[in-house]
Each structure stands twice: as structure tokens, then as C-alpha cells.
Structure 1
Amino acid sequence: MTAHLIAQKYLFSIEAIVFGLLSLWLWLFYRGFGRQYVKYWMFSILALAISYVSMALQDQSMLQNKPLFVSLFLTFTEELGAYSHLLLLFVGVSSATNNYTVSNQRMVILFFTIIALSLITALSLAIQNNNLFNYLYLKISLHNFIFGCGFLALSLYLLTRKKRHFSSITLMIFSLIYGLRFIFYSFASILLDQNDFLIETNYFLIFFDAGAATVLTFILLIWLQSSERFTAINAMRRARYLGQHDSLTGALNREQALEKLEIHMGKMPQSKSKLCICLIDMKRFKFINDTYGLKTGDYILGEIANRLSSSILMPSVVGRLSGDSFLFVIEMPLRQNMESSLDHLHQLIAHPYENDNQEIVISCSIGYCYYPEHGDIAEDLLQKANLALHHAESNHIASVLFETGMQASGRKLLLVEKSIKDAFKNEEFILYFQPQLNLFTNRLEGVEALIRWRHPEQGLLAPDKFLENIEHLGLNSQLDSYVLEKSCQAIAQWHKKYQRRVTIAINMSAVEFQDHKLINKIQSLLFKYDIPPKYIDLEITENVVMTDIKTAMDTIVTLQNMGIKVSIDDFGTGYSSLAYLRKLPIDKIKIDRSFITEVAINDSDLTIVKSMIDLSHGLGKRVLAEGVENTEQLELLRNLGCDVVQGYLISHPLPEEALAKYLRRK
């Protein structure tokens, strides 16, 4: 008997050391990779090691007749370690298979349960140490039954998982066998309660359990290695996928879209069919992002990609080329036209997008070309589709087929682009200033800055000769920034030369006014040139406001708080109403020249202008009329109560040198 107990003590001690080292290895693995389930398994193996330490010390205490409280503590620690091992093993497997983390509240409840169960078992055995009933039912039968049910439940849990791998299957089979071992011994200890049977079976199970626990630990280690290998493979697949697809929408990226287009071009029987290469661009998508948020914009882009991919046209290629631009390629018979297909694409894009209980509607422009009719190189075909798209967007046409003349126009635009960029660099753009007359004081109130191009070869160019090209090239923001800085320079120079500052009205495009950097840009210029903000008057069209009302409101309020004036230019030509003016904290409205031209001879225009002035004054806004060219118009506007006028009658736009005579007047 003594020899058996000593052998058990050494076995338990060795197992405790082995499991302690394994738990240390798992801890290092957890620190390196941060897997949550590894932390659970680490504590599970550590709890098993503590349980084996307690069993080894219990055998030693039996030989040396240790006090009762020592036996109580060791029994409690053994039971608690064993139950904790089972609980944390199960939680770790659940986390590994489902990425599920048990809440702290639930873990506390489970641990209090096993603490209570361990304490009851330890107290019952300690109080009645020689009671065979307590030993059989609490120490052996109940303990084994709980463990049996636990491992069988773990086996059943793994069986119901959809994703299985070698390690999970191995653990499932092990848990089934190990669970049956505990259930069998639980019932056998009750039905066959002879000491000889228990002693002989117990000797065998001690070694069996030690080996099984070691096998279990190595199964977990294999699981870790398999999991990391699986993670690495998934990462490689993900990297390969991202190398070929757009991460936001799942559509092919530009490189892969072009590569797939070339493959279809090579496989297509040219005599029977053709490829239609469509470039689709969303209209006013920045407005969607600014109004509804980037998350909603991302959702819509993903939905667009899904709609295009699942189109009944069965596309050969669907790719996202840039922000809101998609490539859509279909194969079609040579004699078939694209009208019905284009209508389908427009309807596909225009169908409302539902997000956060709101419907969002957008539209698109399409430029397209054919293979092999328009070329046999994928990159060239894409460029031609892009030229057609540019033509569609510039002329507000839904869909445009590439034509040969567009390429020449595109090359011309490239040459113009170089000239315009050189003009910015060489400061060839200059400002002319048109005076604005205050009708109540008959004095200069301010000037409007108007851009001109002092072209090195063509001489002085009016805005209609180059502004359209600047818009097509997307250089509006650069031009606005240029005019803004030149205006600030002029205000500073006039104050230095003539000890006088004059308000300059500066036209702002929608792109620049909606730019979140505008405020900081203006603040920097005011500081750089030491200009009071009240001498800057930003003019925006009503359509700029209506494009994104919220952003416009926020920007206007910020500018007003800085002391900068904001006016509505060309009022009456857009699609807003005076109801919106009531909400906008603007300084004045500028009546478009189209209403002033015949105001003295056309009763309808007179009625409209009078209504505009009266309603604007009623809303607390000042009124400026532009395009005043004769004294009849001037006197009529004076009688109607117009505040300020501007036009050829007052003065033509003047270069900075010619404006000096106005500035010298008191």
C-alpha cells in the first residue's frame, strides 16, 4: 500500500510539473498572438496542474497524519482545480470555434458554482473522514458523473459545429471516450461498492487519467498549431483577394479589371460578337457622403457593385476603378445596339437605396466604346470610354458613345491643361475689378473681383475663353484659391498706398465652398496680409447652397462669426426659393442681370424685381442689382429701394491700376 501511495505521489508531482510548464508555454503563446481561447486553455491546464499538486500533497499528508484543516484545504483545492479545468476547457473550445467570449458576469456565476460544489465535497469528506458513503458518492460517483457529462457535452458541442478540422474531430472523439470513462466509473462505484474493486480500478485509472490529461494537452497544442496555420492561410488568401479586388465593394480593382478585360478580348470570337466597355460614374456622390456620411456612401458603393455584378446583362467584367467610378463590360451580338442595355444600367443605379430608414436616389453618367471597333488594347479602350464619359458629364447627357473627334478634343484639352497650369505658375491670371455703387450714399461700396488671363501669345482673354476648360480639368478649387489670395494682396496694397481698404466680392465655386479646408485657408490669408475680415465678401450661387444645404449653412455661419460677408449671386436663376433665404445668415442677395435688362420696359420683370427687393428687405437682407447699363434702370432701382448697383453704367471692369482713381477719392 505504501509503495503504491509513494508511486502515486511521484506521478502526481511529475504531472503537476509537466502541466505547469505547458501552461507557461501557453501563456507565452497568448502574449505573442493574443488569442482569447489560448488564455482560457492556459488557465485550464494551470488549474489541472494545481489539482495534481493537491493530490500529491494529499497522499503525503495521509502518510504523515496531517491536521484536519490541511486535508480540508487540499481536498477543496483538488476539486476546485479539476472543475476549473473542465469549465475553462469548455469555454476555450467555445471561444476557439465561435470567437465567442463568455461575459464576466456569467464566468463569476460559474466559478461560484464550482467553488460551492468543491467546498461542499471537501467539508463532507473532512467532517466524516471514514464515512464510505461520502467518499463513494461525493468524491467518486458525483465527481465522475459531472466530469462525464461535461466531456460528453463537449463532444456533442464539437459534433454540431459546421466547420470541423482534424484537431476538433480528434478532441471530439477524445471527449466522447473520456466522458464515457467517467460515466462508467460513476455508476460502477455505486453498483459495485466493494473496496477491492475500487482500489484496483482506482490504481488503473490514476495512470489512465494522467495519460489522458497529457493527450488532451497535446491535442490542444495541435489545435493551436492548426489554428495558426489556418489563420496564416486565410491571411494569404485575403491578401491575394485584396490584391485582385476592391476591399470596399468586392469588385475587381483596376489592374485585375483590365487584365480580365484583356482575357475576354482574346477569347471572344470577333466575327460573331463584340464587347461593350462602359465607364459608369455616379453624379453628385460627394453630396451623398457629406449629407448622409461616409458609412452610407460606402454602403451605396457596395450595393452598386452588387447590382452591377448580378445584372441580367451578365457582365464579363465588373470593376471599381476609383472613388465612384465603375467599369462594366458585356458581350453582345455585333448588330445589337446598346440603348436598352444603357436604360437598364441607369434604372439599376437609380433604384432607391434604403439605409437607416431613408431612401437615397442617385443617378449616373455612362461613357462607352466597343471592342474591336474602337481599339484592341484594354488601356486604350478604357481611355476612350473615359473620354466619352467626360463628354457626357460636361454636356449633361446620360450616356455617350465614343467618337473619333473626342480623342482629338481630349488631346487639345491636355495641351490646354499644360497652358493653364503654366498660367498659375507664372501668375498670368490677373484681376479686374468692377465697382459697386451704394445708392444711398452715392459712394463706392466695394468691387467685384473678375478673372482675366494675360496669355503670352493670345493677349488678354475673357473668362468665357478659359473657365470652361478649367472646370473640365477640375481646377476650380485652385482658381478660387488663386483669386482669393490675389484679392487679399490687393486689399493690403491699397491700404499701404492709399490708406484705404475696399471690400472685394469674390465668386466661389461649389467645390471650393464645400471644402472643409476653406475656413482655415481664409484665416491664414487674413493673418498673412493683416486684413480685417469685413473687407471680404464671398459670393456663392443659390445652386451651391441647394447642393448641400447643411454644409452650406455650417460654412456660412462660421464665416459670419469670423466677420466675413456672404452673398447670394445670380439670384433668381437657380432652383432655390426665398424660404431658404430666410434660414441662411447671408448679408445680401445679388439680382441676376437677366431681370435688370428689361426692368424699365417690361412690367413682369419690374414686378419680379420689386418683389425680390421687398421680400429680401423683409428678411433683413440687402440687395445688389447687377447689369445696370442706363440711367432709367438706375433711377428705377433707386426708387424701388435697391441698396447697391453694379454695371457698365457705373464702370466697366477695371485693371488694378485704373481703379486707383476711385481709391484716391474721399
Structure 2
Amino acid sequence: MITFCNANKQQTEQNSSEQIQAQLRHAVRELEAIQHALDESVIVAVTDRQGKITYVNEAFCQISQYSREELIGQTHRIVNSGYHPRSFFKKMWQTIASGKVWKGVIRNRAKDGSYYWVNSTIVPVLDEQGKPYQYVSIRTDITPLKQEEEKVKYLAYHDELTGLANRRYVMENIKQVLDDARKNGQRLAVMFMDIARFKDINDTIGHHAGDEILKEVARRLRRALPAARLLARMGGDEFLAIVAEQQCAGIETCLSALKTVFSDPVCLNERQYVLNLNTGISWFPDHGQCADSLLQTADLAMYQAKQQHQLHVVYDPAMSAHAKFQSALEQDLPQALAVGQLSVVMQPQYHLKTKRMLGVEALVRWHHPRYGQLGLGQFLPVAAELGLMGEIDLWVLRHSSLLFKQHQLADDQQLNLAINLSPATLKLANLPELMLKVLGEAQFEPKRLQVEITEEALVREMDQARNNIDRLKEMGISIALDDFGTGYSSLSQLHQLAPDCVKLDRALISGMEHCRQKQTIVEAVIALCRKLGIQTLAEGVENERQIQTLIDFGCLWGQSFYLSPPRSI
């Protein structure tokens, strides 16, 4: 009986041992499966309480590019990228040292210097006293996701075409730039730039080539202003640079560098284009303490540079008053025609020998309710910006031709009416038809009309302008080349355009009697025109001595305040 019991007991113990071993084998297989799954899907590392690595899986070795032998015994400083501040890791250690799980995203650096991002969970393993004695780090590689996020972020804050910072980046970072300058006692130059006549170039060669010019401008700006605190494309052809005066050794150094890098032309489609920047400069803290005021003042200075055809202009407080004036004109001009605020005055054109009136030039005036009577020169930039010059020019033609007939000026068969056409009007594809309709309604003969154009109009819209000029000539309308000698003038235009009249600009006539060089130029132009069968008219004649000199040179027409100011009829 005793033998049977012992045998039964031994059998029970054997069965129990086999069950335990089976359970252990099963547990081991499960752990091996879990480890295999972890090795295949996540990055695992185990450290002791001091942070020294005691175990890493193959995934850790692959992503870090270190072998197990290189990692074991090291701390995670071996893969520290320097991206996170010390406070980041200090907070992490405080969390896990207290026995709590920490979760976060870390950027690490691999052995070859490349960076990778991991989503990390660090789990403390606690001893009997509830204190951590080791830490298990489980990480997943999220580098592709972070790279995509970085790409989206980059595109959100950078101009896709040029790679420069964009307006959004500037507006979100300029405050920090100003705060740093204020703290360090720095003086900053805020430079607002645009490409002179870029629209004309863009319209001529196409937007694709225009994009290539914008990219080239960005490259040259990087070369010229490597120390810029901010360098951005603000939109269109406008660029911004903010440079500390100490870094650029004075604004003159920056301007000289810009002049140098833009001295070489850009070659596109076997043509060369000389690029010039109109640059407006405002100073921090002299011209503003905040971003809005500095950008506004730099923009005003740039606009002034553009209007004056200068490479750069430094902001002056008087520009703000002018800007308010311009803003008021922008608001009021669209309604000026509708409410009858525009009128026409006529300035006589005389035969210099006989003082007989040969014609009149129609000039538009705006009777502004606040600023009084304004000449076209005062509101021309606003009208051009608003796209109203075509409407205004045709209004002047209609109104002046009606006045001409109403006051019986047309009874004198020798008397002609002259009107100005702006560059914007001259490029209208249906301009001849529009003018013919207006003249027909006024019953005004086209042969009594002279159209005055500037060479600027021909430069901007060459093909369309020449086509319209040819068609106007076919209608019997004569052509006068206005402001000859103001900078755009080219003698080749006299041949290509073949105008009926050349109007010598007042800049050539003023002070002519005291300047032999001016006299020589005026005499040569008059002689050339005479040989080409082109009449000449001198603007801005100031005295009898000038009149006699002009007559001697062969110029017989004149127009000026001295001869007669513009007057209502």
C-alpha cells in the first residue's frame, strides 16, 4: 500500500514538472514571438538606472547605424542630435525617475550624421521598493512623416519659386528680429526692392521666362546680402531684406554689392536683359519701432525710387504726407468722372515768328473738393495704377473736340487740336475704332487732330503701339513725339516712328541761352528733323532770346506759359 502511494506521488510530481516545463516552453515561445514582433516593428533599448544601454535590438542598430558592441555601455548621448534643449531631457528624466511612463518625439542623429525621428515611449521597470532599476525604451521610426511635415512647413513659410522666405515668414519673424536688435542696440536697414519695369519684361517674354528672372534675382540677392537677417520675396517682383548696419558696414556697402551683382545682364532666349532694382530704405529705430511702420516707410521709399527712376531712396517723413495725398486720390478718382469734377483747358501753340496761334493742346484738370485744381501730372500715377487712363484720355478727346467746335475754333482751317495718349491707352487693341467713334459723335475731322505720345509708351508696348500709330495715321491723324530729350529719346525713333512733329522738352530749352552744349544739341535735333521732314515745337520757352535762337535754328513752333498759359474756353 505504501509502495503504491509513493509511486502515485512520484507520478503526480512528474506530471506537475512536465506541465511546468511545458508552460515555461510556451512562455518562452511567446516571449520569443513578442521579441520577434518587436524587433520587426519597433526600436527597443534597455538602460540601467544611470541611463547606460544594456540591451538593444537589431532595429536600433539599423536605424542608428551603430553595432551592438558600439552601443552597449554607452548612454543615449551617442545618438543625441543637439536639436532638443537640455530642458527637454531634464523633464523626461524627472518623469521616468518618478516611476511614470514618458512619451514624446525625439530627433536623433545616426552614425553617418543623418537625422531620424522617433516616437518614443520609455517605461520604468520598478524594484520591490517601487523604484526604477532599469528603463525600457520602445520607439517607432516616424522620419518619413516628419520629413513630410517639414516639407509642408517649408512650403508654408518659403516662396516655392525662389526658395526665399515668404511674406508669412516675414510677418511671423520680424518682431523677433526687431526685439533682438533693440536688445543689442543694433540699427537695422529695412530694404524694400522691386525689379524696374518687370511687368514690361514679363509681358514681352512671357511668364515662364519672367519666373526665370525672379529666380535669378533671388540668387543674386543671396550673393549680395549674405548677412541679411531676413531675405524674402514678398510677392510678385517685390523683395525684402533686413540687414544690421554693423554687419553690412553701412548701407553704402549693401547698395554697392547690389549694384555689382546686377551689373551683368541676364541672358534668356538668346536675348540680354539688364535688371535694375528700385530700392526703398527705412531705418530701425529711426523710421519706425514696429514691423508695420518699418515696412510701410520702406515701401513708400521704394515707390518714390520707382517714380523718380532711381536705384535707391531713403525714407523721408514728407513721403508719408504724400502717401496720404495719393491714397485720397485713389479713393476719389474713380468717381471724379461720374460727378463732373474733370474739365479741359487749352494751351495755345504759336508760330514763333508771327505769334499766330497754330493750334491748341487739350489738358485735363481735376477739381478736387479738398485739394483744389490738380493737373494730370499730379494724379497720373494714380490713374495709371487704377487702370483709368484709357477712360480719361477718351473723355478728354470727346470733351475737347466738342469744345473745339462749340467755340468755332475749327473755323480756322489752320488750327489743330492736340491731345495726349498715355501708354495704357496706346496699347488698347481697339483704340482706332474707339477714337473714330468719338470723333464721329463730335463731327470732328480726324485730319484736324494731332495725337501726342511719349517714347515711354513705345518702349512699353512696342508692337501694339506701332500698330495703333500706323492705323491712326491711315485715318488722317497726325502724330507728335512728346517730351523729346527726357531720357527715353532715341534718334532711331525718328526713323521708325516717322512722326509729323517732335516736341522738344522744356528740360532742353530751359537755360539754353546760357549753355552752349544745350544749344548744340537743340540745333542738331532741329536740323535732323528738318532733313527728315519733321516739324519741331519747343516747349517751355521762357524769353525772347530763346525764341530768337530757336527761330535761327529753324524751329518755328512754341508752347509755354510765357507765350500763353492754359485757359478755359
Distance 1:412 1:609, change over 3 A: closer
Partner secondary structure for residue 344 of structure 1: helix
Matched, 1:541 2:462: no
Taking the aligned partners of 2:508 and 2:274, their CA distance within structure 1 comes to 34
Higher helix content, 1 or 2? 1
Q: Residues 533-561 of structure 1, C-alpha deviation per residue, up to 9 Å, x if partnerless?
A: 43432212345545676565444334334
Taking the aligned partners of 2:563 and 2:315, their CA distance within structure 1 comes to 48
Distance 1:608 1:551, change over 3 A: same
Q: Residues 86-116 of structure 1, C-alpha deviation per residue, up to 9 Å, x if partnerless?
A: xxxxxxxxxxxxxxxxxxxxxxxxxxxxxxx
Report if the CA contact (8 A) 1:277-1:385 is conserved. Answer: yes
2:214 corresponds to which of 296, 301, 305:
301
Residue 280 of structure 1 deviates from its aligned partner by: 1.1
Distance 1:622 1:326, change over 3 A: same
Report if the CA contact (8 A) 1:487-1:504 is conserved. Answer: no
Q: Specify the alignment match of 2:472 in structure 1.
A: 559
CA RMSD, aligned part only? 4.7
Taking the aligned partners of 1:474 and 1:340, their CA distance within structure 2 comes to 35
Matched, 1:256 2:169: yes
Taking the aligned partners of 1:629 and 1:260, their CA distance within structure 2 comes to 56
Which sections of structure 2, spanning at least 5 residues, go unmatched? 1-143
Q: Residues 434-483 of structure 1, C-alpha deviation per residue, up to 9 Å, x if partnerless?
A: 2335799997653201233434466555x3xx724643785596356424
Q: Specify the alignment match of 1:177 in structure 2.
A: none
1:581 corresponds to which of 472, 485, 494:
494
Taking the aligned partners of 2:316 and 2:203, their CA distance within structure 1 comes to 35
Residue 262 of structure 1 deviates from its aligned partner by: 3.7
Letter in 2 for 1:541: T
2:402 corresponds to which of 492, 510, 514:
492
Q: How does 1:432-581 map to 2 (within 5 A)?
A: 432-437=345-350, 445-456=358-369, 460=373, 463=375, 467-468=377-378, 470-471=380-381, 478=388, 481-492=391-402, 494-495=404-405, 498=408, 500=410, 503-510=416-423, 512-513=425-426, 522=435, 525-526=438-439, 529=442, 531-542=444-455, 544-545=457-458, 552-574=465-487, 576-581=489-494
Q: Residues 315-350 of structure 1, C-alpha deviation per residue, up to 9 Å, x if partnerless?
A: 343322232111223456489533212322333344
Report if the CA contact (8 A) 2:344-2:399 is conserved. Answer: no
Q: TM-score, normalised by structure 1?
A: 0.52
Q: Specify the alignment match of 1:50 in structure 2.
A: none
Residue 279 of structure 1 deviates from its aligned partner by: 0.9
Taking the aligned partners of 1:578 and 1:589, their CA distance within structure 2 comes to 11
Partner secondary structure for residue 388 of structure 2: helix
Report if the CA contact (8 A) 2:223-2:261 is conserved. Answer: no
Taking the aligned partners of 1:639 and 1:276, their CA distance within structure 2 comes to 54
Distance 1:260 1:419, change over 3 A: same
Q: Specify the alignment match of 1:367 in structure 2.
A: 280
Taking the aligned partners of 2:529 and 2:544, their CA distance within structure 1 comes to 23
Taking the aligned partners of 1:597 and 1:275, their CA distance within structure 2 comes to 42
Which sections of structure 1, spanning at least 5 residues, go unmatched? 1-229, 657-666
Report if the CA contact (8 A) 1:350-1:361 is conserved. Answer: yes
Higher strand content, 1 or 2? 2
Report if the CA contact (8 A) 2:364-2:396 is conserved. Answer: no
Q: Specify the alignment match of 1:390 in structure 2.
A: 303
Residue 360 of structure 1 deviates from its aligned partner by: 2.0
Report if the CA contact (8 A) 1:476-1:509 is conserved. Answer: no
Matched, 1:320 2:233: yes
Report if the CA contact (8 A) 2:393-2:425 is conserved. Answer: no
Letter in 1 for 2:397: S
1:286 corresponds to which of 166, 184, 199:
199
Distance 1:612 1:430, change over 3 A: same
Q: Specify the alignment match of 2:327 in structure 1.
A: 414
Taking the aligned partners of 1:280 and 1:601, their CA distance within structure 2 comes to 40
Q: Specify the alignment match of 1:619 in structure 2.
A: 532
Percent of paired sites with the same residue: 31
Q: Residues 193-250 of structure 1, C-alpha deviation per residue, up to 9 Å, x if partnerless?
A: xxxxxxxxxxxxxxxxxxxxxxxxxxxxxxxxxxxxx9xx999998876654445434
Letter in 1 for 2:228: P
Q: TM-score, normalised by structure 2?
A: 0.59
Partner secondary structure for residue 359 of structure 1: strand
Partner secondary structure for residue 368 of structure 1: strand
Residue 520 of structure 1 deviates from its aligned partner by: 6.6
